[in-house]
Amino acid sequence: MTPRRLGYDGVVLAAPVTVPYERFSTRSAHWFLGRAMRALVESSGLEKQAIDGLCVTSMSLAPDTAIGMVEHLGFQPRWLDNVTFGGASGMIALRRAARAVQVGDAEIVACVAGDTNQTDSFRRGTAAFSQFGQDAVYPYGSGGPNASVALLTDNYMRTYGAELADFGRICVAQRANALGNPQALFSKPLTLEQYLKSPLIADPIRLYDCVMPCAGAEAFLVMREETARAEGLPFARLVGAIERHNAFPDDPVQDRGGWIVDREELFAQAGVTPEAVDFVQAYDDYPVIVFLQIEDLGFCGKGEAKDFLAGHDLTTTGSFPINTSGGQLSVGQAGGAGGFLGIVESIRQLTGQTVGTPVPDAKIGLVSGFGMINYDRGLSTGAALLAA
Amino acid sequence: MTTSTLGSLAALVADLAEGNVEVVDLTQTLAPDMPRISLPPEFGQAAPFRMEEISRYDERGASWYWNNFSCGEHTGTHFDAPIHWVSGRNLPDNTTDTIPPRSFVGPACVINCSLEAEQDPDFLLTVDFVTDWEATYGRIPPRAWVLMRTDWGKRTDPAEFQNYDEAGQHSPGPNPDCVRFLIEERDVLGFGTETIGTDAGQAAHLRPPYPCHFYMHGANRYGLQCLTNLDRLPPQGAVLICPPLKIRKGSGSPLRVLALAPRT
Amino acid sequence: MTMDQRPHRNPALPPRRPTTPPILRSRFALGLTAAAASGRFALQECLDCGAIQYPPREACHCCLSDRLEWRPRDGAGTLLAVTCVRKPYETYFRERAPWRTGIVRLDCGVSVVAYLHGRCAEPPARVRVRACLDRAGRAVLAALPDKDVTDMTDDPLMREFSNSPKGRHVLVTDGTSEIGQAMAIAAAEAGAETVWVGASERWKAAPGFEALSTIPQVTLLPLDVTDTQSVDTLAGQIGGKVDILFNTAEFHRTHSALSRRGVETARVEMEVNYFGLLRLAQAFGPAMSARAAEVPTNAVAWVNVLSVFALANYPSQGTFSASKAAALSLAQCLRAEFRPAGLRVLNVFPGPVDEAWNQTELPPKIAPRRLAADVVRALEDGLEDLFPDPVARDWYERWRADPKVLELELTA
């Protein structure tokens, strides 16, 4: 029996910040990261140099990495990490930062994710995303995740009998959630009929199944609870966190993620069950991925997400609130910040700092990440439980 | 030099200036599609004329146009030196650089065989034909060029010029006795034709094979091939000018062949 | 020449410029293309544990061995998921969207993303995967129906991978040889719209050459590849129309370095076999590149009839081998320069061909008609290298195994 790993006792998250999203930007990723750091300092009231740990996520920072940002922004951290795991970056950054403050390698770690979006940057990004992608996916014209996830979706629908409307319900509910969020790029309601009539992008995926790439940044601080109290910062506690990479490599087509392997431990760390979760911030680059998370994190059995979700109101004030800020499907996907969106929104919900509609009496939130379609499937999964 | 010699050259210059003496170009234009001698494939082959541009007012040379050309010594209108044939290989002054220059200028006797060649492409010039011609136009003087007119030079289609079939080429030339007659009885400087060789197309089957080459060069005499415009020369009275390129140990060379002919 | 009866391009519209799919691959992935270039589908197999690898990699995903070897596979598998890509990013794909791709689970245990032939059934369906060269000359996988795979070119997607003479204007550079005549006949039989056949020194009346003109599509034209002016003249006449160029011009003698005094015969070999290719490339290549996306027919391919002796010198035909090696090297350069336009260079490496200059070679010798038929099929299959006969394949395998050992065998 493997020894249980150390819990995340005493680790908290604070200072949720968002640099407003733009569809396209002439600014560089450096600008968005700089604005996010400034917002962290201003909203926390901390001295700039009190931030002694930095974890940077950006997909458009090349040729720079975290170390380049340290000099660019004038920090002298004693702990530094560069985390680029796509949609799993937020989970992984959080876990790294939590361990750093837990053992005292750093006092206050800023986790920051920001990306720019220029007119051709998405194509260029997908062309060189990974070696396997360049060798075995991009030459098929299916550059970027659209076609890859379309194949997963096709397989999932064939295997479990899900229909487009099942996916559409998520998109429609999240759009409703977004209407309360002034930072969302989509600000008009979406009906299921509109969803079903939206243009096909890669069958069966339609336009409203896809996130809109944009520019923006998300950031938060990780510290020990006593530090937050001493600085007078509202905080959310980290009560459980997992990650897993390249789970189930022998599955012919991906229809499950690494969450299954670790979910038991996730809830055990927090000492709760899925029923105790008040809201879920699921990684929603496509609705089918939300299905996988709902199933693989234990809210329902494999293939049952359509029925489970159909049985709930998914809006912020509903019975099973999902992506309460609107999620990436309505807010936009600001590159690596997409994997931070759910964490930042969870901190807001759990600390009473919501920009949009609050989840009533939220005590426990689950955040999940998914990323790195390196070849034909997403390799990295992660999840965290946060508590008020 | 005598005064009269000077006077005759001056007269020539005056005749040229006044057009009394015409300069006739007996040369085919050197071009890649100019027919060339083609031996059975096991033999070495004369290279055809080829021209490659060096520059043409472009990035290879902004203000000038020029070419490299390549060809065999026996390509186009060309001169045969005695060393060309095995029978002449040990003779003195037998190469293009050592032949005495005076051999390049001499009287031209033009024997018209065009009717016979048209009727029979394998026509062979005989001693009788030559002596009959002499009966009409006068005896061939010593050290003269004998030119066999066949109007072959008017065949602009390469296929007609080559006149090939499964047996090879069919084109006129002299017979062995005729060649010996011209050398031994008339002391000619050389023999010239409009066809691709001084010998007939089927001369490989004569005894000896290629008699004009064999006897002419064996007697340190010369050959000219691929001439044209022979119909513009009188049977007697023209002067031939045919200096080959001064190639060291050359067996022949393409050249410009001119004739001075009284205006008709 | 009569007027081309098919629809003509509207001359008022801008020309359609050639685009190509992504060309970048890792070095270790190029083994897939190397095999596909000669029509084989191969995957890496671990020599230590036997695991099949895909996508290509540097270490075994099971036992971490670096002893991975490309080995032929039959490509049998099951189609599991399908999508139809409608909004791609790259221009090449945008011009061709939509098309279908899918995930195929090969029986050997790996999942591959592949293009789908239009007649593949809905998942789960049995399919056969093969590796094709795309317009960038890089291998992509295509799933074909398990049974009754007939004409690859009846599918619009598969047509992208094919360089069939059907409906195209082709030039055979020398029709005086048996190979050239067989090539002209095969191109006409494969449905070429026009077959121009060149000949140098037509007065030589090569047997069989004039008879070509009885084929309706055939037009005989003067062309001497040793003569730049001749090549340029012909390019001026038809260079803007040639879709496939079959370079059959060849000067073949059987001499070693010492058996033929002097360089003149070897020089002619180079003039025809090497410089001839260079002259043709300079005269016809740019216009063909520019027309790689032309409608209704586009330039697609350039065929070089080389020799397997280009790979390693066959001493009894030593200078001929050298000239073919030079031509091969130049063909590789041409291939690189044609890449941006998507033009395929098909190099053909026959062993001894059954023709007069190979009289003393022992059988097997490939018949010119058979060679021509194989070339047409290689074009239809989109190949880049063709080793058409047993001798050629034997040499190629030895050469691949160890060029030095092959040299030692040949110089014994």
**Can you give the three-state secondary structure of chain A, one letter per residue?**
CCCCCCCCCCEEEEEEEEEEEECCCCCCHHHHHHHHHHHHHHHHCCCHHHCCEEEEECCCCCCCCHHHHHHHHCCCCCEEEECCCHHHHHHHHHHHHHHHHHHCCCCEEEEEEEECCCCCHHHHHHHCCCHHHHHHCHHHCCCCHHHHHHHHHHHHHHHHCCCHHHHHHHHHHHHHHHCCCCCCCCCCCCCHHHHHHCCEEECCEEHHHCCCECEEEEEEEEEEHHHHHHHCCCEEEEEEEEEEECCCCCCCCCCCCCHHHHHHHHHHHHCCCHHHCCEEECCCCCHHHHHHHHHHCCCCCCCCHHHHHHCCCCCCCCCCCECCCCHHHHHCECHHHHHCHHHHHHHHHHHCCCCCCCCCCCCEEEEEEEEEECCCCEEEEEEEEEEC
* Chain mean position to CA B40: 23
Q: Which residues contact C29 (CB under 8 A, 6 or more apart)?
A: A131, A135, A136, C55, C56
Residue C3: pLDDT band with limits 50, 70, 90: low
Tokens of C332: 């590789």
What are the Cα distances from residue A111, in Å, to A56, A63, A220, A388? 6, 20, 5, 19
pLDDT at C1: 45
Lateral strand order in the sheet of C218-222: C218-222, C194-199, C169-172, C244-247, C301-305, C344-348, C385-386
C98-103 long-range CB contacts below 8 Å, 24 or more apart? C99/A141, C99/C156, C99/C157, C100/C157, C101/A140, C101/A141, C101/A142, C101/A147, C101/A151, C102/A151, C102/C143, C103/A151, C103/A155, C103/A252, C103/A253, C103/A376, C103/C79
Q: Could you give the CA distance from residue A279 to residue A319 in angstroms, rounded to a whole number?
A: 9
- Chain C, residues 46-105, CB within 8 A of chain A, namely 54-56, 61, 80-90, 92-93, 96-97, 99, 101-103, 105
Rounded Cα distance between A66 and B104, Å, is 89
Averaged pLDDT score across all residues of chain C = 94
Which pLDDT score, from 0 to 100, does residue A1 have?
46
Residues of chain B positioned with their CB less than 8 A from the CB of C205: 164-166
Distance (Å) of CA C354 to CA A20, C357, C369: 76, 8, 10
Of C222, C228, C264, the CB nearest to B52: C228
Greatest C-alpha distance within chain C:
69
Which chain C residues are Cβ-neighbours of A157 within 8 angstroms?
none
**If you measure CA to CA, which chain C residue comes closest to A199?**
C86
Q: Is B62 exposed, middle or buried (0-12, 13-18, 19+ CB in 10 A)?
A: exposed
CB–CB of B31/B49 below 8 Å?
A: yes
**Residues A324, A318: Cα–Cα separation, whole Å:** 10
Q: Shortest CA distance to C344 belongs to which of C276, C245, C254?
A: C245
Length of chain A: 388
Q: Which pLDDT tens digit goes with each residue over A227-284?
A: 999 999 999 999 999 999 999 999 999 999 999 999 999 999 999 999 999 999 999 9
Q: Is B165 on the interface with C (CB under 8 A)?
A: yes
B33 close contact with C: CB closer than 8 A: yes
Residue in B50, B158, B161 closest to C226 by CB: B50
How far does the CA of residue C355 sit from the closest CA of chain A (Å)? 43
Instruction: List Cα–Cα distances, C50 to B75, C54, C60, C107, in angstroms.
Output: 67, 13, 9, 14
pLDDT, mean of residues A363-378: 96
CA separation for the pair C124, C126 (Å, rounded): 7
pLDDT on residue C63: 97
Of the candidates B35, B53, B164, the beta carbon closest to that of C205 is on B164
CA distance A141 to C225: 41
Residues found in chain C: 412
Residue C101's DSSP bridge partners are C83, C115
CA distance C260 to A242: 78
CB proximity B45 to C under 8 Å: yes
Q: Which of B45, B51, B158 sits opposite C229 (nearest CB)?
A: B51
Instruction: Work out the average pLDDT over C46-71.
Output: 97
**Which of A118, A121, A140, A142 is the mutation pick for testing C, counting most C CBs within 10 A?**
A140
Give the tens place of pLDDT for each residue, C130-140: 999 999 999 99
Chains C vs B: touching, with 3+ CB pairs under 8 Å? yes
Average pLDDT over residues A2-21: 90
Residue A143 confidence class, pLDDT cut points 50, 70, 90: low
Q: Once rounded to an integer, what is the mean pLDDT over residues B11-23? A: 95
**Residue of C77, C16, C80 lying closest to C52 (CA atoms):** C77
Any CB–CB contact under 8 A between B158 and chain C? yes
Judging contact as 3 or more Cβ pairs under 8 Å, the answer for A and C is yes
Does residue C12 carry a pLDDT above 90?
Answer: no
Q: Does C148 have pLDDT greater than 70? A: no
Interface size B-C, in CB pairs within 8 Å, comes to 46
Backbone angles phi, psi at C407, to 5 degrees: -60, -45
- Give residue A2's pLDDT: 55
- Is C217 within 8 Å of B23 (Cβ atoms)? no
Q: Is B84 a catalytic residue?
A: yes
Indicate the average pLDDT of chain B: 96
Which residue of C lies nearest to A375 if distances are taken between CA atoms? C55
How is residue C41 written in tokens? Answer: 């589908």
CA B171 to chain centre: 15
pLDDT beyond 70 at C95: yes
With an 8 Å Cβ cutoff, the interface of chain A facing chain C consists of 122-123, 126-127, 131-132, 134-144, 146-148, 150-152, 154-155, 158, 199-205, 249-250, 252-253, 375-376
3-state secondary structure (DSSP) of residue C38? coil
C296-322: per-residue pLDDT in tens?
789 999 999 999 999 999 999 999 999
Q: What does the block give as tokens for C42? A: 């191969």
pLDDT of residue B36: 86
Over residues C334-347, the pLDDT tens digits come to 999 999 999 999 99
Residue C386 has pLDDT above 60, yes or no: yes
Of A208, A7, A232, nearest in space to A102 by CA:
A7
| pLDDT of amino acid C6 | 67
Cα distances (angstroms) measured from residue C332 to each of C36, C291, C303, C326? 16, 21, 12, 10
- Residue from C201, C202, C224, C232 whose CB has the most chain B CBs within 10 Å, to mutate: C201
Whether the pLDDT of residue A3 is over 70: the answer is no
CA distance C341 to C292: 6
Contact: A139, C96; criterion CB under 8 Å = no
Q: In the prediction, which pLDDT does A142 show?
A: 75
Helix (H) or strand (E) holding C375: helix C368-380
**3-state class (DSSP) for residue B92:** coil
Q: What is the pLDDT of residues C395-407, one digit of tens each?
A: 999 999 999 999 9
Mean pLDDT of A7-27: 96
Which of the other chains make 3 or more beta carbon contacts under 8 angstroms with chain A? C
Q: Which of B74, B78, B84, B213 is catalytic?
A: B84
pLDDT of residue C154: 72
Q: Any chain C CB within 8 A of the CB of B162?
A: yes
pLDDT tens digits, one per residue of B221-236? 999 999 999 999 999 9
Q: Any CB–CB contact under 8 A between C340 and chain A?
A: no
Task: DSSP letter for C158, please.
Answer: H
Tokens of B11: 């007269």
Residue C203 has its nearest CB partner, among B32, B52, B164, at B164
For residues C213 and A124, which has the higher predicted lDDT (pLDDT)?
Answer: C213
pLDDT tens digit sequence for C251-281: 999 999 999 999 999 999 999 999 999 999 9
Whether C138 and chain A come into contact, CB under 8 Å, resolves to yes
Q: What is the H or E stretch that residue C197 is in? A: strand C194-199
Q: Identify the residue among B29, B30, B33, B69 best suited for mutation to test binding to C, counting C beta carbons within 10 A and taking the highest.
A: B33
Chains in contact with C, where contact requires at least 3 CB pairs less than 8 Å apart: A, B
CB neighbours (10 Å) of residue A16? 27
Helix (H, G, I), strand (E, B) or coil at C273: helix
A132: nearest CA in chain C?
C55
**Residue C314 to residue C334: CA distance in whole angstroms:** 25
Q: What pLDDT does C89 receive?
A: 85
pTM reported for the whole predicted model: 0.92
| Cα separation, A264 vs C231, whole angstroms | 77
Residue B1 has pLDDT above 70, yes or no: no
B35 inside 8 A of chain C by CB: yes
